[in-house]
Amino acid sequence: MDDNDNNAAELVFPVGGSAYANQSPNARTFGNNFILPSALSITEGSGFNILPWETNYKTQTAQEWNFTIERALPGRLGARASYVGNHGGNLVNFDPINVPVPRSQAPGGATAQQRRAYAHFASSSTGSMDLLRFIGYSNSNQLQTELKKSMSNGTVIQAFYTFQKTLTTSEGSNNSFGALELLPAGLTNNASTDVRLRGIYAPDSGLPTHTFSVNGNYELPFGKGKKFLAGSNGLTNRLVSGWNAAGFYYWRSGLPFSPYYAVRGSNTVLAPGKTGILPSDQRQAAGWFDATVNRADLGQAYKGETFIRRANSLDNDFLNYIPRNYMKGPGFYNIDASFYKITPITERFKLRIEAQIFNLLNHKNFAQPNNAGIINAGVGTPRVVQFQGKLEF
Pair 245, 378 in one domain? yes
pLDDT of residue 6: 42
Pair 241, 140 in one domain? yes
Please give the span between the terminal C-alpha atoms of the chain, in angstroms, as a whole number: 62
Q: Is residue 127 part of a domain?
A: yes
Pick the last residue of a domain from 310, 326, 342.
326
Q: Is residue 63 part of a domain?
A: yes
Whether residue 130 contacts residue 112, with contact meaning beta carbons closer than 8 Å, is answered with no
Q: Is residue 165 part of a domain?
A: yes
Pair 130, 166 in one domain? yes
Pick the last residue of a domain from 277, 303, 326.
326
Q: What is the pTM of this model?
A: 0.83
Beta bridge partners, 69, equal: 81
- The low-confidence residues of the chain, meaning pLDDT below 70, are 1-49, 126-127, 172-179
Pair 165, 183 in one domain? yes
Whether residue 313 contacts residue 360, with contact meaning beta carbons closer than 8 Å, is answered with no
Q: How far apart are CA 255 and CA 288, in angstroms?
A: 13
Q: Is residue 27 part of a domain?
A: no
Pair 249, 315 in one domain? no
Q: Is residue 38 part of a domain?
A: no
Range of the domain at 296: 265-326
Name the DSSP letter for residue 369.
-
Pair 387, 292 in one domain? no
For the stretch 48-105, pLDDT in tens is 667 788 888 889 999 999 999 999 999 889 999 999 999 999 998 989 888 888 999 8
Pair 140, 195 in one domain? yes
Neighbouring residues of 303: CB distance < 8 A, sequence distance ≥ 6: 294
Pair 225, 361 in one domain? yes
Q: Is residue 217 part of a domain?
A: yes
pLDDT of residue 113: 81
Pick the last residue of a domain from 278, 306, 326.
326
> What total of structural domains would you count in the chain?
2
Q: How far apart are CA 12 and CA 29, in angstroms?
A: 8
pLDDT of residue 39: 57
Pair 149, 281 in one domain? no
Pair 313, 346 in one domain? no
What value, to the nearest 5°, has the Cα angle with vertex 288 and ends 284 and 293?
Answer: 135
Q: Is residue 243 part of a domain?
A: yes
Pair 106, 185 in one domain? yes
pLDDT of residue 122: 74
Whether residue 140 contacts residue 178, with contact meaning beta carbons closer than 8 Å, is answered with no
Q: Is residue 57 part of a domain?
A: yes
Pair 73, 190 in one domain? yes
